[in-house]
Chain A
Amino acid sequence: GAVVSQHPSRVICKSGTSVKIECRSLDFQATTMFWYRQFPKQSLMLMATSNEGSKATYEQGVEKDKFLINHASLTLSTLTVTSAHPEDSSFYICKWRRGHNEQFFGPGTRLTVL
């Protein structure tokens, strides 16, 4: 399968700071990617859908000014959690869509806000 990387894999930050998470597809290009978050012992929740060159589409309840998505290229997307608070502590996972049916998840980023 295709390779997707996320950086960092873990981050701990103080409340009020901003954190940037990078997601890269290493061996393919794709126009559409997705950001999910997963709270402990819960399932994945879609946050937003992003197409290269256009603004991201956010799911209901997800603040676009708080979770900034920059889909910089066909292989790189970043999610910035601005003014992070403890309730933003979660596991953030990106996913790239290639072609008709293929979707590949990144390894995830564990964010802990103190």
Chain B
Amino acid sequence: LAKTTQPISMDSYEGQEVNITCSHNNIATNDYITWYQQFPSQGPRFIIQGYKTKVTNEVASLFIPADRKSSTLSLPRVSLSDTAVYYCLVGDPESNYQLIWGAGTKLIIKP
């Protein structure tokens, strides 16, 4: 299972774009990259998933370089309500993936 490394915490301000990078040097061919958001005392919420290049949905974009050894979650124009912990996970959807959760990145948005 590929281990992921993320910054422990980040600060930003309302209205800014926030980019959180995750390293996964041992990513396997069948692995997908998934990002979750978690608020205190709540279950994680799916944000976005990708395999390569760029994926965009209504809340975020995910950039994955050609070697797939890292990925960047981009949150456009953040607000105070985006303050949460963000987890990057790597795994094969065909198996019991997302077995190992890293520490995540605590994102704090300031007014």
Contact = CB atoms under 8 A, between A and B. Distances in A.
Give the contact-size bracket for chain B. Answer: 10 to 19
- Of the four ranges (under 10, 10 to 19, 20 to 34, 35 or more), the interface on chain A belongs to 20 to 34
B45 A100 contact: no
A46 to B, nearest CB: 5
A43 B104 contact: yes
DSSP majority for the B interface? loop
A100 B44 CA distance: 19
Interface stretch (A12-20, A62-70, A72-80, A104-112): A104-112
20 contacts: A4-B43, A6-B43, A34-B96, A43-B103, A43-B104, A44-B87, A46-B98, A46-B99, A46-B101, A59-B99, A91-B41, A93-B43, A95-B43, A101-B49, A103-B46, A103-B98, A105-B46, A106-B43, A107-B42, A108-B43
